[in-house]
Amino acid sequence: MSSTNNQYHHPKYISRTNTQLTTLTPNSCLLAVLLVTRSSSGPTLTFHYPPRPRIESPQTRNIRSQSPSDSSSSSSSSEDDDADETSRTTATQQPGAASDAESRKTRFRRRDDSDADRAEPKKPRSAETVLGFKTEFLADMLAPKAAAARGRFEMSVDDIVYIGMPVHVRPDGTWRRSRKRKKKGDVEEDDDPDEDGDEGENEGYAPEQEEEGQEGEEVEKGVEDLSIEDTGKVPEDEATKAADEDADDEREGETPTEQTNTESSMNMFHIVFVLNPPELEYQARTLQIYDYVVRRFSRTLKYEQDKDGYVWKEAEKIARLKEQAAHEDISYSELWRKIIDNSNLAHAISRIYIDISQNKIAHIFLNNHRTLSVQIPIVTEINRLPTLMDQPMPGLPLTTANSFGDEETEGDSILAKHFTLLFLEDIETIIKDIVAEPTESSASLAHFVKNVKPTQSFVQISIQSGIALHEIQVLARHLIQWRKARPIPPIHQRNTYIVSPNADMKRVPQLIPVYSKTFPTMPGLEKMLGMLSGPPRSFASFIPSKDHRGAYLEILAWLIRHSLVTELRTFAWIKIPRHIKQAVHEERLRQREENPDSPAPDDDEDEMLDEDSFILDPSKASGIESAWLEMACREHSSDVKALFERMLKYLNGQHALEKIAVREGIPRKEVRKVFSVMEKIIVYAKHW
């Protein structure tokens, strides 16, 4: 988590899961990252990493996409050996991430390397090839005119995809629109919807920290739900909107004048990510890399270029190093090491390639003051087991308790304040990393980490620690985004826990010594797993005494952290038996006889008298369903009736009963009492 120059960023995007488990496997499919610039002398492939990108065969790519543990792209100095072949290329510049505009098709002659190209030359040559193309040809392909650039750039050549967001200079020589601020008390108006502060924000630990000269912006602006959902990709409307905003600057610059900025002659730069995704994962992979990496990195560079010409200065520095190397006895790999050592931008590009290709968080430090962290969000849990058609992924947490948000209108997300964090690393290690990166909020973050307990909800932690609930939720999101923790319902000894059906049991031999060192006086790992593999029962029944409760709950948290155990939750439906329905029917007949004006029993009623009925949504019960419920509760006390009415909305098979106590503030004992009294009309099911 610690890094020499880097701080950590505030997340401004949604972390989501995919309904197709085959696309959940961590694999960025990243082959290379290219920096293309264009000046008055034409387009140039200024820098690329790795030095010799390798084009993988389909067989190798398939193997890699099926191996979560080996997801990094190789940077070996070998190139595609394909013979001189004709390839069909489809180039599209899309206005939105989900745009399906008609593609323009062009044939290009595929260029391949000679044996000399694959060797390690002493001096770099001007006729260099990258990814099978001459650099001049590749640069020309990746340098679209301003009129053709509409936000997202996407070009496919055979199985290779080039994804980017070209940035062009504006007609007035600037790179960003200026902000217009209204008078104090008025709502601030941003003249450029593309410039929402994303590229200019301080990407550090501090949720509320601002750098000198930075336009202030509250952290919570733009903070979105990090809930684990089953969508798998950014919704098309959101992605399209985001890309359309990115294109706003380009629309105004469709006919740019010759470079008017006296600080440089550059009129365009383009960071291009090169991928080779499996065919069935094309959309998911390209959307992920664009939304979470390409767009953020490009917009940050645009901000820095507009501020002081950063990108062009770095491009000139790289060009000078290449020119010097042409007159020195230096190898190709040595030149690249020298460029990375001397160019801040080249170093950032190399870090992004290395970390993203290994599915890590890339922390970079730009222009001596700007920190940025980018990543492709990984899957932190699944809510169903893989089918025979899915790729198995043992070891991922298996649970349906995946709500984490703060908008009460979004279903179960009201539970956010009743969730807690389960750390995925030792607390001491996390605190050490926080202290190593001192910021204004380091103290509060460390204080929060010290006070987090997996047995206490955010509300309880707030009360005990004195940290405001809103601040706790912001800090928690940071730790989740940094992959240091994941949200879970608080662990409780009265809940039921089982060995996860998706547990990676092959890891148990490796975990045994770790467990023994952590809990030297407690029952062994094999024994604990054996107990939890039996008939499901309350975890409290495994605890020998009250004095052992704390230690056993620590063991339980450790087992959940390593995805060996999951909570077995209870779901329920209301089932009205025939005799209650008959009693309601007879009562209505009597009322009809006594009062002819009262509603007569419906005929859907007469037909249903001979069978039991489920009330699928008790919170929206029909008239007859409400009569059935009233009849079922008639013999019970008013206290039971009142509590039962509060609990009705959870009895539709969609909500775990374990959350009723924390959500409604009802003691667990009272919840159990109500369900015991009403057991004749309730059907239960157990599920993770």
152 vs 96, more confident: 152
| Tokens describing residue 472 | 């706790």
Cα–Cα distance measured from residue 64 to residue 187, given in angstroms and rounded to the nearest whole number: 50
| Tokens describing residue 427 | 């607390």
Q: Average the pLDDT over 612-635 and give the result.
A: 91
pLDDT at 115 over 60: no
Q: What integer pLDDT is reported at residue 310 of this predicted model?
A: 94
Q: Average the pLDDT over 625-651 and give the result.
A: 93
pLDDT at 290 over 60: yes
Residue 159 banded pLDDT, cuts 50, 70, 90: confident
Phi and psi angles of residue 313, each rounded to the nearest 5 degrees, phi first: -60, -40
pLDDT digits (tens, 9 = 90+) for 374-401: 988 877 788 888 887 777 788 889 888 8
Q: Where are the alpha helices (DSSP H) in 562-622?
A: 578-594, 603-606
Q: What integer pLDDT is reported at residue 147 of this predicted model?
A: 58
Q: What integer pLDDT is reported at residue 178 of this predicted model?
A: 72
pLDDT at 121 over 60: no
Which 8-state DSSP code applies to residue 423? E
Residue 578 banded pLDDT, cuts 50, 70, 90: very high
Cα–Cα distance measured from residue 362 to residue 8, given in angstroms and rounded to the nearest whole number: 10
Amino acid at 179: R
Q: What integer pLDDT is reported at residue 215 of this predicted model?
A: 33
| Tokens describing residue 139 | 């640069």
Helix, strand, coil % (nearest 5) of the chain?
Answer: 40, 15, 45
In contact, 1 and 446? CB cutoff 8 Å: no
Q: What integer pLDDT is reported at residue 389 of this predicted model?
A: 77
Query: Lowest-confidence range among 127-131, 195-199, 243-247, 504-508?
Result: 195-199
Residue 442 banded pLDDT, cuts 50, 70, 90: confident
The reply to whether omega before 50 is within 30° of 0 (cis) is: yes
Cα–Cα distance measured from residue 245 to residue 124, given in angstroms and rounded to the nearest whole number: 40
pLDDT digits (tens, 9 = 90+) for 465-495: 999 998 998 899 889 888 899 999 999 999 9
pLDDT digits (tens, 9 = 90+) for 27-76: 678 999 999 999 988 999 999 999 998 876 544 444 444 433 333 333 33
Cα–Cα distance measured from residue 536 to residue 449, given in angstroms and rounded to the nearest whole number: 32
pLDDT digits (tens, 9 = 90+) for 335-358: 999 999 999 999 999 999 999 998
Cα–Cα distance measured from residue 457 to residue 419, given in angstroms and rounded to the nearest whole number: 5
DSSP string covering 327-363: TS---HHHHHHHHHHH-HHHHHHHHHHHHHHTT--EE
Q: Pairing mode, if any, of strands 160-164 and 30-39?
A: unpaired
In contact, 434 and 446? CB cutoff 8 Å: yes
Cα–Cα distance measured from residue 617 to residue 649, given in angstroms and rounded to the nearest whole number: 7
Cα–Cα distance measured from residue 117 to residue 31, given in angstroms and rounded to the nearest whole number: 19
Query: Chain-centre distance of CA 417, in angstroms?
Result: 20
Q: What's the chain's average pLDDT?
A: 75
DSSP string covering 23-37: GTS----EEEEEEEE
pLDDT at 592 over 70: yes
Report the alpha-carbon angle 640-401-549, nearest 5: 75
pLDDT at 16 over 60: no
**Domain residue spans in the chain?**
21-374, 411-556, 570-687
Q: What integer pLDDT is reported at residue 632 of this predicted model?
A: 93
Contacts of 351 (CB under 8 A, 6+ apart): 362, 363, 364
Grouping H, G, I as helix, E, B as strand and the rest as coil, residue 465 is helix
Q: Which of 3, 662, 639, 21 is nearest to 371 (CA)?
A: 3
Grouping H, G, I as helix, E, B as strand and the rest as coil, residue 567 is strand
In contact, 306 and 175? CB cutoff 8 Å: yes
Q: Where are the alpha helices (DSSP H) in 19-114?
A: 58-65
Residue 411 banded pLDDT, cuts 50, 70, 90: very low
Percent of the chain having pLDDT more than 70?
69
pLDDT digits (tens, 9 = 90+) for 190-247: 334 344 433 333 333 333 333 333 333 332 333 233 332 233 333 334 433 444 444 4
Contacts of 295 (CB under 8 A, 6+ apart): 152, 165, 242, 243, 246
